Amino acid sequence: MVKLKLKTSQWIVDDQDKIVIGKGRMEILENIETTGSINQAAKTMKMSYKAVWSKIKATEKHLNIRIVHTDRKEGTRLSKEGRELLEKYRLLKKECILADDDIFSTIFDSPVKRGRDQGKIRFGGKFR
């Protein structure tokens, strides 16, 4: 029998379904936090500086906040709001994964009552 598992993704979008933050932007913020540089974050992610900068600016525009501060001496760092956004998104992902895993287990790991075929799920005409 094939072991099934659930893969999910979470994005926070605006009212026009434009991405505000998702896995990619989380990675951008984490890399900026680690490297102190948009350029280094872009290199780490194998992205252009412009692509990373555009995603940062898009998120800032959607939320009407600054999520990064750039300074010639100190480099680039997350703003207080940027750190808060990153922390909240990490928490959201963690809680969603826990909830999704729980729901998945409830549906796929517990016996499913289907008349005489209790505990079996029909896939493509065959009971498993």
Q: Are 53 and 41 in contact (CB under 8 A)?
A: no
pLDDT band per the 50, 70, 90 thresholds, residue 3:
confident
Give the pLDDT of residue 2: 76
Cα separations (Å) of 1 from 53, 113, 120, 125?
47, 19, 12, 16
Domain limits for position 26: 20-103
In a domain, 15, yes or no: no
Q: Are 9 and 21 in contact (CB under 8 A)?
A: no
Whether 111 has a pLDDT exceeding 70, the answer reads no
In a domain, 54, yes or no: yes
Helices within the chain (DSSP H only): 23-35, 38-44, 49-63, 80-108
Q: Are 65 and 88 in contact (CB under 8 A)?
A: no
In a domain, 51, yes or no: yes
- In single-letter form, the type of residue at position 23 comes to K
In a domain, 111, yes or no: no
Q: What is the CATH number of the domain that holds 62?
A: 1.10.10.10
d(CA 102, CA 7): 13
* Long-range Cβ contacts of 7-10 (<8 Å, 24+ apart): 8/96, 8/97, 8/100, 10/92, 10/93, 10/96
Residue range 93-119: mean pLDDT, rounded: 74
In a domain, 75, yes or no: yes
Residue range 68-105, pLDDT digits in tens: 999 888 899 999 999 999 999 999 999 999 999 999 88
In a domain, 61, yes or no: yes
In a domain, 112, yes or no: no
Structural domains of the chain, count: 1
Residue range 17-73, pLDDT digits in tens: 999 999 999 999 999 999 999 999 999 999 999 999 999 999 999 999 999 999 888
In a domain, 119, yes or no: no
